[in-house]
Amino acid sequence: MAAQAQGRLSSGYRYRVLFALLILSWAVSWPLVKVGVATVPPIWYACFRYGIAAVCLFSFVAARHEAVLPPRADWSLVAISAALQMAAYSGLTALALTILPPGRASVLAFSTPIWVVPLAAWWLHERSSPAALFGTGLGLLGVLAIAAPALHRDAGGHPLAYAMLLLAAVSWAVSIVAVRAHRFTATALALAPWQTLVAACLLLPIALAVEGVPRPIGLRGAASLAFVGPVATAFAYWAVVEAGRHFTAGTLSMALLAAPPLGILLSVLSLGETVEVKLIGGTALIGAGIRLSVRPVQAR
């Protein structure tokens, strides 16, 4: 009995460490992507990111003897997730980071759970609790507080950048609702390498058409991709799958709450981002909205 209790304690500690590393990897990635897109064209950056992640994930599942061709029933999910959660989200956020500071961008991009509530109500006919509806309202107020400067006449290209971040968050939300509606045949981890590969393949022709043939990426771009591809993408996806087996959906949502404030702090320390009252207030409102919107049920 003592050995079993010790084993459970050790396992619980490992998953808490994994959870903390997941949050840290997401937070660190935002200022690093900002550095990367300063030297690598943003759509090419997103393409390289998922190409690297695909290699890492295929190697990982092969080492675990879990590499399989996705069953026909799962290909629709692979396509939706690759197109929306990965290609659209990463491409839009990379484009926005050529304009906006990473801390502010991360808050809006991680507002995804707020958009899940109305989408799930419309698509899956899920009933939203009063708390979830109130949380959605709080989150929208937070988004408005952060994006308000873009409404000024002299905002320049900022309105487009804010729109891209919100579209990225909605794209991820659509993917989340599609995952809820899907009946998996293969495991989420077995599908992950194919999703990243399809995402890279979708981004490749867009990058060629919009940004042309890529030039040498340079040391800063290579250093950024060396972390964002293997760690903030491949490792983070595996960590989400593993954490989802041991934490509730409500607990997992805390990763989305913790990553933006930490990302802001790292951006302030590394890139000198200015923190305004509107950013702090909007972050708090979005965080409260996410916490109220996410249903605390056991992740499947």
pLDDT at 153: 47
pLDDT at 284: 86
172-183 burial, b for 16+ CB within 10 Å, e for fewer? Answer: bbbbbbbeeeee
**What six digits make up the tokens of 113?**
């759970």
Q: Is residue 127 part of a domain?
A: yes
Q: Is residue 105 part of a domain?
A: yes
The count of structural domains within the chain is 1
Contacts of 107 (CB under 8 A, 6+ apart): 142, 146, 260, 264, 279, 282, 283, 286
Summarize the confidence of residues 115-138 as an average pLDDT. 79
pLDDT at residue 297 tops 60: no
Mean pLDDT check: name the lowest of 86-95, 153-162, 164-173: 153-162
Q: Which residues pair with residue 248 across a beta bridge?
A: 298
CA 185, CA 288: separation in Å to the nearest integer?
35
The helix/strand/coil state of 86 is helix
pLDDT at 10: 57
Give the predicted TM-score (pTM) of the model: 0.84
pLDDT at 234: 93
Instruction: Output the CA torsion 291→294→298→300 (10° steps).
Output: -130
Q: Is residue 298 part of a domain?
A: no
Q: Which residues pair with residue 298 across a beta bridge?
A: 248
Give Dmax over CA atoms of the chain in angstroms.
Answer: 68
CA atoms within 13 A on the CB side of 136: 15
Summarize the confidence of residues 51-66 as an average pLDDT. 95
Q: Is residue 281 part of a domain?
A: yes
% pLDDT > 90, the chain: 37
Q: Is residue 279 part of a domain?
A: yes
Q: Which band of pLDDT confidence, cut at 50, 70 and 90, is reported for residue 12?
A: low
Q: Is residue 299 part of a domain?
A: no
Q: Is residue 300 part of a domain?
A: no
pLDDT at 285: 83
By residue range, what is the domain housing residue 82? 2-293
Summarize the confidence of residues 127-155 as an average pLDDT. 74
pLDDT at residue 299 tops 50: no
Mean pLDDT computed over every residue of the chain: 83
The helix/strand/coil state of 246 is coil
Give whole-number Cα distances, 223 to 35, 97, 114, 194, in Å: 9, 17, 33, 25
Q: Count of CB atoms within 10 A of residue 264's CB? A: 25
**What six digits make up the tokens of 182?**
């899907």
Give whole-number Cα distances, 210 to 38, 144, 254, in Å: 17, 30, 36
pLDDT at residue 1 tops 70: no
Summarize the confidence of residues 40-57 as an average pLDDT. 97
Q: How far is CA 107 from the centre of its chain?
A: 11
Are the C-beta atoms of 232 and 45 separated by less than 8 Å? Answer: no
Mean pLDDT check: name the lowest of 78-87, 119-128, 250-259: 250-259
Sequence-ordered strand ranges (E) for 141-300: none
Q: Which band of pLDDT confidence, cut at 50, 70 and 90, is reported for residue 142?
A: confident
Q: Which band of pLDDT confidence, cut at 50, 70 and 90, is reported for residue 9?
A: very low
pLDDT at 300: 40
CA 103, CA 85: separation in Å to the nearest integer?
20
pLDDT at 2: 46
- DSSP code of 294? S
pLDDT at 140: 81
Q: pLDDT by residue (tens digit) across 220-256?
A: 999 999 999 999 999 988 887 777 666 665 566 666 6
- DSSP code of 248? B
Among residues 122, 173, 123, the alpha carbon closest in space to that of 143 is found at 173
Q: What is the DSSP string of 63-121?
A: HTT---PPPGGGHHHHHHIIIIIIIIHHHHHHHHHTTS-HHHHHHHHTTHHHHHHHHHH
Summarize the confidence of residues 162-169 as an average pLDDT. 91
Q: Is residue 175 part of a domain?
A: yes
Q: pLDDT by residue (tens digit) across 16-38?
A: 888 888 889 988 999 999 999 99
- Burial class from Cβ neighbours inside 10 Å (0-12, 13-18, 19+) for residue 262 reads middle
pLDDT at residue 63 tops 70: yes
Strand (E) or helix (H) holding 277: helix 277-293
Summarize the confidence of residues 259-268 as an average pLDDT. 82
Higher pLDDT, 91 or 126: 91
